[in-house]
A and B are shown apart, each in its own frame.
Chain A
């Protein structure tokens, strides 16, 4: 047998070994460039809050920096992770105690404006994306500077403004407040296949009921209203605390894949 044949045989064996070894491992893939659309609107409360108050909004403003769709599974959702997703997600150690790992970003857009959640649905078009399966989303909410807040009732330096009326058992309170905090809403469920044809569209509904779900407006009973009859919610009050927790809760942002047109 010539040396050449030994070499060939050896190479075949080595190739077999490589194929066999890697056959037992994960498979990775990349996505093609495309774009998606998203719409964003406020979903007003349809019933009393868990604290028993009926809240009617007059204003709901939100300063949004960016939106991102990720491969990573949401933290608080009982879904079995598909093996492919694991294969292409970032392999870093998870954070304690919630284990949200965003993985690869599939779509990303800078909104950089104040959204009126009581107004018409906001359309975000031509969001840069790659094909793949989205599982979660992150929303970055930041205080608006003067330029961004101009033309809205949101005061510069704030991220959220709400005004409305809360009623319960004959008691009625008109309230308003703003939050100056920055919020990173991470790992909210956002499942859907981002297709290559550029027609993928998501609807994002901000659950305004959840924003104030735990507010106890009776705590404002001793607060004198302003000249216009509206109570400015105190900075250290329970109602403001409830709004902060409602805005920061990812489940208040429901991201839904819209059916493809023609289906």
Chain B
């Protein structure tokens, strides 16, 4: 009889501990990372494109700010240091951009970060001082340089800087689970701000069947200097492109290829690889 009582006591204690642990005191830390994946570090191969082009970036500068982890009705933790510029091109693996310590070990269901315009107070992450100046000078949130190649059409280069602020919030992982679960102990829980560079070349703003294309962008090289500028993209009205391409969904005021690529910038931010966030201009 005494043995049975002990068993009940043990199981009760375990249950009680589980309950306490769910909202309790154990702490851990978050290793905040940023990555552009292989598409930035290496290339977006031609096999990914619908029209035979392939793209290789030489620079992929992001100005990251407002990184915050919170639990609904609970604590919130922010990455300190203000907005910083990172170049994701040299990052063969996810780049550690900061650690947040003394974080309650639990699910932090509200993860958010910003791809925001660089300001005078912005600082460098892994980017160079000259990269920072480029970002600050143009008030860019994202700046990309690269080359597209096609076996028949040759090469086109691009250097595009994008202004505007996008907040990625309520981030969910690839399984649609909100935020991340911070584990207790000394090993930091990784949390990755992932930037999908291929999105800049999608031909649909709200289309699950969207394709990567570069033909129309290459053809925008009006002065034929093999460099496609955003100003040249602004001369291409979407109504001159095939109706099945560069569809806008419910987006307003997206009339040219420049508008289009700019609108796609707001879709590049992801969470822990393939996870998604709510996107909002601010």
A133 contacts the other chain (Cβ, under 8 Å)?
no
Interface centre among B19, B107, B206, B250 (most CB of A within 10 A): B250
A214 contacts the other chain (Cβ, under 8 Å)?
yes
- Give per-residue flags for A222-258: 1 if the beta carbon is below 8 A from chain B beta carbons, else 0: 0000000000000000100110110011110000000
B118 contacts the other chain (Cβ, under 8 Å)?
no
Which of B107, B206, B251 is the one whose CB lies under 8 Å from A186?
B206
Whether the Cβ atoms of A86 and B178 lie closer than 8 Å is yes
List B contacts of A6 (CB < 8 A).
Answer: 4-5, 8-9, 12
Whether the Cβ atoms of B239 and A249 lie closer than 8 Å is no
Classify the interface of chain B: helix, strand, loop or mixed: mixed
Interface centre among B4, B17, B178 (most CB of A within 10 A): B178
* Interface residues of A, count at CB 8 A: 56
* Interface residues of B, count at CB 8 A: 57
Q: Which of B48-56, B77-85, B125-133, B197-205 faces chain A?
A: B197-205
Which of A75, A80, A91, A244 is the one whose CB lies under 8 Å from B250?
A75
List A contacts of B223 (CB < 8 A).
Answer: none
Whether the Cβ atoms of B23 and A251 lie closer than 8 Å is no
B122 contacts the other chain (Cβ, under 8 Å)?
no
Known contacts A97-B199, A98-B206; A214 and B255 CB within 8 A of each other: yes
Whether the Cβ atoms of A241 and B240 lie closer than 8 Å is yes
Whether the Cβ atoms of B280 and A248 lie closer than 8 Å is no
A93 contacts the other chain (Cβ, under 8 Å)?
yes
List A contacts of B15 (CB < 8 A).
Answer: 10, 13-14, 16-17
A83 to B70, CA, bound (A): 13
Whether the Cβ atoms of B210 and A96 lie closer than 8 Å is yes
B231 contacts the other chain (Cβ, under 8 Å)?
no
B37 CB to nearest chain A CB (Å): 14
Residues of chain B whose beta carbon lies under 8 Å from any beta carbon of chain A: 1, 4-5, 8-9, 11-13, 15-20, 22-23, 71-72, 106-107, 169-170, 174-176, 178, 196, 199, 202, 204-208, 210, 237-241, 243, 247-252, 255, 264, 267, 274, 276, 278-282
A147 CB to nearest chain B CB (Å): 28
List B contacts of A81 (CB < 8 A).
Answer: 170, 278
List B contacts of A50 (CB < 8 A).
Answer: 255
Which of B5, B11, B106, B205 is the one whose CB lies under 8 Å from A97?
B205
Whether the Cβ atoms of B255 and A78 lie closer than 8 Å is no
For A242, give the chain B residue with the smallest CB separation. Answer: B239
**A-B contact sample (14 more), CB < 8 A, given A75-B250, A93-B176:** A3-B8, A6-B8, A20-B23, A74-B250, A76-B206, A76-B251, A86-B178, A97-B206, A98-B267, A186-B206, A238-B239, A245-B239, A245-B247, A249-B251
